[in-house]
Amino acid sequence: MKKALVLGASGGIGYALVQELVSRGIEVIAFARGKEKLQGLYGSSDKVTIVTGNALEEEDVMRAASGVDVIFHSVSFPYQDWEHTHPKCVEIMIKAARINEAKIAFVDNVYAYGKQSGFVTERNEKHPHTKKGKLRLGMENTLKNSGIPTLIVHMPDVYGPNCGNTILHETLKNIEANKTANFVGPTNVAREYLFTLDGAKAMVELALRDEAYNQNWNIPASRPITGDELLTIFRDEFGYTRSLRTISKSMIRFMGVFQPFMKEMVEMMYLTEEPIVLSGEKYEAQVGLLPRTPYQDGLKTTLEWKEKQVLVK
């Protein structure tokens, strides 16, 4: 891979992918709608070409994809718009890959798995019971039936530099200000939060291997962790003195009356009570050890990045 396109480069996982690709000497096209944000993130890098556009506009994606070897999909859309945006975005990306004879590296979540028990491997059958899970499985099948070499990477909830609109970001935005912070779901249930720089490192490693394509891959976090354990880290490592305010499913449902995003989030709240825990055994058997940054280190990097952005502004 000499040249890659990252769709959704202004988001958390997109930012991590650009950083990892550049660190390996790969030329990157960073694509998103916001020129100012892209300039702030990549304006000083001579390995990154900024292209602004809309991932739902075929002409924009075609322009960005010219001459690339791999298209990384890390585009996010508001929950309430998924049905009308994600399938169209995937179809446009497939067309761009076909014209440029490029491969696709697709960032996916765990929704398509549905309810599972124990460690979830790539062999687990997918039985999504939510409309978002069914939609994600539909996107996966579209990619697999496209004839384009595609690797599909399942990641749990993420956190890291430039990560907004994530479950853990909702908590971290008040931790740094030492204010009472919201925590979505029960604090005594262990869940996975993947450090984006770890996820990107593992995904780029897969994208460099021809044999990794036309397969699914799970990239787990360093370990499952409870909200109570996170609170201990916040106190011990960052001097946090306040408490966590638990946001329950009933509270999310009430907030959904006024906020479309919260309304759409209700059906995914099962993941806070019956979390999916991914197994990385396939990756470690076929590729090597997974990157597993301890939460203390990942959270420190994330909060330092957030503080630096505030100082720059």
Cα–Cα dist 69/2, whole Å: 7
Beta bridge partners, 182, equal: 245
Cα–Cα dist 196/198, whole Å: 5
Fold of the domain spanning 3-163+194-222+276-294: Rossmann fold (3.40.50)
Write out pLDDT tens, residues 188-221. Answer: 999 999 999 999 999 999 999 999 999 999 999 9
Model confidence at 310: pLDDT above 70: no
The model's pTM: 0.95
Write out pLDDT tens, residues 3-47. Answer: 999 999 999 999 999 999 999 999 999 999 999 999 999 998 999
Write out pLDDT tens, residues 137-193. Answer: 999 999 999 999 999 999 999 999 999 888 899 899 899 889 999 999 999 999 999
State the DSSP code for 33: S
- Give the largest CA-CA distance in the chain: 55
